[in-house]
Amino acid sequence: MTAVQEHHARTRARRAALQALYQWYMGGQDVTDIEVQFFQEQDMARTDRAYFRELLHDITARAGTLDEGIARTLKRPIAQVDPVERTALRIGAYELEFHPEIPYQVVINEAVELAKRFGGAEGHRFVNAAMDRLATALRPVEVNARRNSRTA
């Protein structure tokens, strides 16, 4: 698989994970049942299935901790955040914390694209601002290096 194909497969995994995580969050279904449903009912042929599975299981297992970290960067209570935006933020927070090999700008862009595709009209702006603050909190060295290189 080429790097471009891998990137697209991961993007598709994030999209499917957002939908599955939303289903888990809103309906309280068992995560394994949701996973099975997605593999049976969705076209997952060009999706990074292992990454989808990781996102689904690890984010649900860490949802409380991820929400606590996200909440520290918000200007409103996390309970007031739209469920789609909250799910996009959870995916972004997870990737920032547990996938340092993914550049923070990619993580932010992917979270914003999820919010654009599945969220409300202006939800992507909220996600972008929140993810920027979260990246600064979780990856200060990387963020500061990038910012300093642009001003040099």
* pTM, two decimal places: 0.94
Domain ranges of the chain: 3-151
**Residue pLDDT, tens place only, 28-86:** 999 999 999 999 999 999 999 999 999 999 999 999 999 999 999 998 999 999 999 99
pLDDT for residue 144? 87
Q: Tens of pLDDT along 78-101?
A: 999 999 999 999 999 999 999 999
Domain 3-151 has CATH 1.50.10.10: no
Contact 25, 79 (CB under 8 A): no
Q: How far apart are CA 114 and CA 108, in angstroms?
A: 10
Mapped to the 3 state alphabet, what secondary structure does 97-139 carry? HHCCCCCHHHHHHHHHHHHHHHCCCCHHHHHHHHHHHHHHHHC
**Do the beta carbons of residue 113 and residue 92 sit within 8 Å?**
no
For residues 125 and 152, what is the distance between their CA atoms, to the nearest angstrom? 27
* pLDDT greater than 80 at residue 151: no
Q: Are 72 and 111 in contact (CB under 8 A)?
A: no
